[in-house]
Amino acid sequence: MTATIRQALRTDLRGIQRVRLAVRENRLTSRTISDEEVIDAIERSGRGWVAECANTVVGFAIGNAENGNIWALFVDPGHEARGLGRRLHDEMVAWLFARGLRRLWLTTASGTRAEHFYERAGWRRCGQLPGGELLFELNAPEEGAWR
């Protein structure tokens, strides 16, 4: 079944939250991200994208256009290893760079599939935060070189 990548809407909140809570790595343990935080992230401070199969959200990505932070990138475990994460990643990164950002950043746990995903996608590990998470950065390519 082919997935469609499109811009996330408020009406996708239920699917976004379902995917976020279904993941096996980088699980939320300290708190829940509210619907209001997601709406803010996809409508005010940045933009989100969803991967949709048969009218069901099976993955999502959210990037912050104000500070270049990759706020989220998750794929439902039942839809992993199909290239959806990379498609969501590439769409989000291209949009952020097109908005004029020159540096993107994110954090993720060490020893995870996410760590290796970002390394394969060209991100550079820049250090480790006091809580143990890894800091990654991606610099904008020369004009027109992305994609």
Domain annotation covers residue 142? no
**What is the mean predicted confidence (pLDDT) over 45-69?**
95
Tens digits of per-residue pLDDT, 88-103?
A: 999 999 999 999 999 9
Residues 103, 66: Cα–Cα separation, whole Å: 11
Percent of the chain residues topping a pLDDT of 70 = 91
The domain in which residue 57 lies consists of: 4-101
Domain annotation covers residue 110? no
Q: Does the pLDDT at position 112 exceed 50?
A: yes
CATH number of the domain encompassing residue 52: 3.40.630.30
Structure tokens at 9: 């809407």
Domain annotation covers residue 26? yes
Other beta carbons less than 10 A from residue 76's beta carbon: 20
Domain annotation covers residue 14? yes
Tens digits of per-residue pLDDT, 63-87?
A: 999 999 999 999 999 888 888 999 9
pLDDT value for 1? 65
